[in-house]
Amino acid sequence: MQTHPPTDLSYDAALAALEWMVELGVSAPVGDDPVNAYDLPDRLAMPERPATPAPAPSPARPVPVARMEDSVDVVAVARAAAAKAATLDDLREAIIGYEHCPLKQGARNTVFADGNPKARVMLIGEAPGRDEDLQGKPFVGRAGQLLDKMLAAVGLDRSAPDPNGSVYIANVLPWRPPGNRDPEPAEIAQMLPFLARHVELIDPDMIVLMGNTACAAALGKRGITRLRGTWTEAFGRPTLPTLHPANLFRAPANKRLVWEDLLALRARLNAPA
Ligand code: URA
């Protein structure tokens, strides 16, 4: 995104403009016109060549991600890293250590999961938004607060100790896409091995997929308005697709549909094993 340098903004107006740009996902300042760094006044005074040779790059220096992507099978690397994770802590570390997803560079936090790891239900969302990126926890912003209220209506609470009355929550992507844009298919594909291992380690009795990105990752298809409300199978477990809570801000009439889905979830939890 290009921005123009303000000329006579007050402190408050400048701060509001900056907050607005951060909200939109701006992560680096870019001007309208290309700048030749060698024409800048402080560069003009520099000698053409440094008097002493530049120090060799330290071996510990990270290789830029863009170059690695050209020669590395990033999905295979993710698969190998995920397979090695024997515990949730291992998996969190494996995700934090995975350097092949460019989203990581723009994120403040890796958003791993929240809730009760012993819960019978695992909820899968899309990706962190601004609040989740800041706090490092999934579904803590507006959509998360609505989700908590809807879950409470069917006796589910992410912080409850009872496996029958709690949920575990994770996202397809652990890093916020800039400006909350939709995740790219390549980003979903490269993070999928981590999600699959996450499901294996939690070992839930049932899964709820919230929205199209979760369906794309877990079922390989989109079309949430058609898929929602019908039990299917993902990662070898009974799975219920439903609308993403953020959808309900745009289309409040859809709350009725999500309510139906939550009742179906509750009924399955209550059914004798
Ligand atoms: N939307 C998501 O899909 N996940 C979050 O964690 C927050 C909002």
- In this structure, the residue with its CA closest to atom 3 of ligand 1 is 126
For 169, the 3-state DSSP assignment is: strand
Q: Residue 49: left if φ>0, alpha if ψ -120 to 50, beta else—which one?
A: beta
- In this structure, the residue with its CA closest to atom 7 of ligand 1 is 139
**Residue 211 Cα: closest atom of ligand 1:** 3
Cα torsion 133, 134, 135, 137 to 10°: value is: -10
Is the residue at 46 inside a domain? no
Structure tokens at 169: 């929550």
Beta bridge partners of 166: none
Q: How far is the CA of 111 from the centre of ligand 1 (A)?
A: 10
For 22, the 3-state DSSP assignment is: helix
193 vs 106: CA distance, rounded Å? 21
104 vs 90: CA distance, rounded Å? 18
> What integer pLDDT is reported at residue 273 of this predicted model?
79
Is the residue at 82 inside a domain? yes
Q: What is the pTM of this model?
A: 0.77
Write out the chain's pLDDT in tens, 273 residues.
444 545 566 666 566 555 555 554 555 555 555 555 455 555 444 445 445 555 554 444 443 343 445 689 999 999 999 999 999 999 999 999 999 999 999 999 999 999 999 999 999 999 999 999 999 999 999 999 999 999 999 999 999 999 999 999 999 999 999 999 999 999 999 999 999 999 999 999 999 999 999 999 999 999 999 999 999 999 999 999 999 999 999 999 999 999 999 999 999 999 997
**Residue 171 Cα: closest atom of ligand 1:** 4
Is the residue at 32 inside a domain? no
Q: Where would I find the beta strands (DSSP E) of the chain?
A: 113-115, 121-125, 167-171, 206-210, 232-234, 237-242
**Residue 138 Cα: closest atom of ligand 1:** 6
- Measured in degrees and rounded to the nearest 5, phi and psi for residue 79 equal -60, -45
Choosing from 123, 171, 191 the residue with most ligand 1 atoms within 8 A of its CB, the one to mutate for a pocket test is 171
Is the residue at 216 inside a domain? yes
Q: How far is the CA of 28 from the centre of ligand 1 (A)?
A: 24
For 200, the 3-state DSSP assignment is: helix
Cα torsion 25, 190, 127, 15 to 10°: value is: -20
Q: How many CB atoms lie within 10 A of CB 172?
A: 24
In which domain, by residue range, is 148 found? 73-270
**Residue 213 Cα: closest atom of ligand 1:** 3
Is the residue at 30 inside a domain? no
Provide the domain count of the chain: 1
Is the residue at 10 inside a domain? no
Pocket of ligand 1 (CB under 6 A): 125-129, 132, 138-139, 141, 143-144, 171, 246
Is the residue at 4 inside a domain? no
- Amino acid of residue 112: F
Is the residue at 68 inside a domain? no
Local structure of residue 174 (DSSP, 8 states): S
Residue tagged 């609505």 (tokens): 146
Supply the CATH number for residue 100's domain: 3.40.470.10
> What integer pLDDT is reported at residue 44 of this predicted model?
43
Angle at 91 between CA 90 and CA 92, to 5 degrees: 95
Q: How far is the CA of 134 from the centre of ligand 1 (A)?
A: 12
Residue tagged 């701060």 (tokens): 15
Q: How far is the CA of 139 from the centre of ligand 1 (A)?
A: 5
Choosing from 126, 142, 173 the residue with most ligand 1 atoms within 8 A of its CB, the one to mutate for a pocket test is 126
Q: How far is the CA of 97 from the centre of ligand 1 (A)?
A: 22
